[in-house]
Amino acid sequence: MPQRLTSLRNPNYPRHFCPECADGRTEATAELALAYEAGSLEITNEVEEEEQCSVCLRPIADVPADERSYQIELQLTFSCTVELNAKSATSAEYTLASALDAISFDKAQDGLERTLSEQLHETEQIEIESISVDDCEHEVGEARSIPPFVSPTQERFVEHLRNFWGK
Ligand SMILES: [Zn+2]
């Protein structure tokens, strides 16, 4: 089955590319990267007879399109919010940072590898040949003190006192 990659950055003049040029010719690679950024990239296996690659000028239907293995580096970012008790913001940050240094994320990395390959397959039918979650970095943000929890009953009581003292 052939494959056509089309940049629709200028909708009146779509630029078609064959998969060989898309991988090997700077002109095609650059245009497809811009189209991807702009959200105007179309990839399809339904190729019309007359559709020509705008670089090599071959009919795209005649260009062989075989699957190959590609390796992609991926960065996933999770943000976490942690609440803990400490005597100062600095000690809260310091304690958390040193605890994180001492923790092993091996199990979490294994779990993430499993989740990624299962979910990518389930949602997009992507066959993952291999996947390895390698690095786990952490960055501890600034600790802000959170006001103690006040229940509605306590609030009413304080209100009552204020009224009583006329403040
Ligand atoms: Zn081509």
pLDDT tens, the chain, 167 aa long: 899 999 999 989 999 999 999 999 999 999 999 999 999 999 999 999 999 999 999 999 999 999 889 999 999 999 999 999 999 999 999 999 999 999 999 999 999 999 999 999 998 888 888 999 998 899 999 999 888 877 888 888 888 888 888 75
Residue 28 resides in a domain: yes
Residue 46 resides in a domain: yes
For 18, the token pair is 């064959």
Q: Are residues 96 and 130 in the same domain?
A: yes
66 C-alpha to center of ligand 1: Å?
14
Residue 42 resides in a domain: yes
Are the CB atoms for 103 and 52 separated by under 8 Å? Answer: no
Q: Are residues 101 and 135 in the same domain?
A: yes
Q: The domain containing residue 54 runs over which residues?
A: 4-62
120 C-alpha to center of ligand 1: Å?
29
11 C-alpha to center of ligand 1: Å?
20
Residue 122 resides in a domain: yes
CA-CA distance, 35 to 38, in Å (whole number)?
Answer: 5
pTM over 0.85: no
Number of domains within the chain: 2
